[in-house]
Structure 1
Amino acid sequence: MQKDRRSVTVMDIDFVNRTQYQFLVEDIFPALQHKEKKFIVTANPEIVMKAQEDDAFKKVIYEADYTVPDGIGIILAAKLLETPLEERIAGFDLALDLLNYADEHGLSCYFLGAKEEVNEKAVKRVQADYPNIHIAGRHNGYFDIGDRDLAEEIAATAPDIVLVAAGFPKQEKWIAAYKDLFDHGVFMGVGGTFDILAGEAKRAPEIWVKLNLEWFYRLLQQPKVRFKRTLKLFGFMRDIIKNKKRYK
């Protein structure tokens, strides 16, 4: 059977093999228009490595409708495996595109995750920058993943878009556990996106992003926090190189 050229497999994870624009126009915007339900995972090398160690988490990723390559490590790995991806699709950029679309079409969004003050600031920023978005609701990231009552409360708001900023694997596991409670909606784990929206963190300057050095910029900004993550990136690449034949 011929392999679907719209996806590329890296360490047993199938990644969307399209440009960000194509992905949005061909899949996500139509899903929003037709009130469908879609689960997006934005996966970097850390998430892929976690999936290799945690079968339950890998199952969650397999349940997603789309896994996009968020991280230069995924792009480099795909090249090494001689199955290059079209481009990196950064979760932050994808979240902004969803907000822009929601603003243009008067859709509703729910914001789940981050510290209370960060969540509040992020939502206020969205209200100021995207005045046509209906805020379905918000809740901080201090929730138990087994709290079904909270999930039912969120589902009752009938949001078109649910952004979950609880860090992996919690954000993805929450979506997988409760998306069936919703009639429709695009669900995506967005990591530190709320922190940037709230002004609590800065994204790398455009030149760093274009040069695929955003990871290095983050390391310089938060060396203690990012050092272990950077080691995981190099460990991921080492594993790809070492086991190239097995992964192809």
Structure 2
Amino acid sequence: MKEKVNILGIPFIKTKREELTKLLIDKMDYQEKCFVVTANPEIVMHAQKDAEYQKTVLSADYIVPDGIGIIIASRIIRDYLPERVAGFDLMMDLLSEINKRKKKIFLLGAEVAVVKKAAQKISERFPQIQIVGYHHGYFQLDDLEIAQKVLHSDADLILVALGFPRQEMWISKYYQMFTKGVFIGVGGSFDVLAEKVKRAPVLWQKLNIEWLYRLIQQPSRWKRMIALPQFLIKIIWLKFKKNVRMRLNL
């Protein structure tokens, strides 16, 4: 069992991307199922406000730190997470590994043209992968036919790009129907795969300012970005209160 770091009630797995990739590949090899949440500060803050969503996130087998803000928070509370595990990078690592094993994937989410092109790009780059189905993200969460379509595909890896909180809620809602499959919410990753949206250059990624590049590309995201300073302020405030209590108890 991996160690976990609790940040505002969300237990993040203490692992590196390479270790997590191996762990998830092992799950597929043994025909097991697994629910992975790639959580950033925005997701943590939403879980603070929405008890149902928090319950959904906590039902995941692994919650990974997708966001430099989560890493900074772990440093502030002095319970260090080793590195950021970006959802897109984790997805690409898994695709590379399952390509060697000729495993099956299902893509769920995004616009009709986007998910279709994302599937085509995966086929071109990873020709040994079996794409056993894909479906756009414009459906109601209670549409059982979609879940049955995924179930009957017998996919080993199910990439769910519905954006939060819908992707986590969809996985949680139908997870009990499945006996196998690694389920991961991948947000806007299909847009990047389909080349609808450009990912930040490598230098920006290394400097941990990928969020800024996305904001420049999509200025409408500014409201969502407010969650990051709110998140860090809350972490610092809780740390301050904890230190005060410790001093008073001396």
**Does structure 1 conserve the Cα–Cα contact (< 8 Å) formed by 2:2 and 2:13?**
no
Tell me if 1:29 matches 2:25.
yes
CA distance in 1, matches of 2:2, 2:110: 36
Q: Corresponding residue for 1:197?
A: 193
Distance 1:17 1:102 in 2: 23
Partner of 2:208: 212
Alignment of 1:77-226 (within 5 A): 77-223=73-219, 225-226=220-221
Shift of 1:191: 0.3
Structure 1, unaligned runs of 5 or more: none
Q: Determine the C-alpha separation between the residues in 2 that align with 1:155 and 1:5.
A: 29
The aligned residue for residue 227 of structure 2 is 232
| Superposed displacement of residue 183, structure 1 | 2.1
Q: Distance in 1 between matches of 2:179 and 2:163?
A: 25
Q: How far apart, in 1, do the equivalents of 2:7 and 2:21 lie?
A: 22
Match of 2:67 among 58, 71, 79: 71
Counterpart-to-counterpart distance in 2, 1:247 and 1:199: 46
The CA distance in 1 between the partners of 2:149 and 2:241, in whole Å, is 45
Q: For 2:146, give the aligned amino acid.
A: L
Q: Is the 8 A contact 1:14 1:67 kept in 2?
A: yes
TM value normalised by structure 1 = 0.95
Q: Distance between the aligned counterparts of 2:231 and 2:56, measured in 1?
A: 20
Structure 2 Cα separation of the partners of residues 246 and 34 of structure 1: 46
* Deviation of 1:246 (Å): 6.1
Cα RMSD over matched residues? 1.4
Partner of 1:57: 53
**Other structure's SS at 1:126 match:** helix
Q: Structure 1 residues 22 and 231 mapped into 2: Cα distance closer, same or farther (>3 Å)?
A: same
2:114·2:194 contact (CA, 8 Å) conserved in 1?
yes
Give the secondary structure class of the aligned counterpart of 1:243.
helix
- Per the normalisation by structure 2, the TM-score is 0.94
Question: Per-residue displacement from partner, 1:121-176 (whole Å, max 9, x unpaired)?
Answer: 10010111111111110000001100112211210111000000000010000001
Q: How many residues align?
A: 243
* TM-aligned CA distance change 1:12 to 1:247, over 3 Å: farther
Question: Which of the two has higher C-alpha Rg?
Answer: 2
Q: Which residue in the other structure is 2:248 paired with?
A: none
Which segments of 5 or more consecutive residues in structure 2 lack a partner in the other structure?
244-250
Bigger Cα displacement from structure 2, 118-127 vs 225-234: 225-234
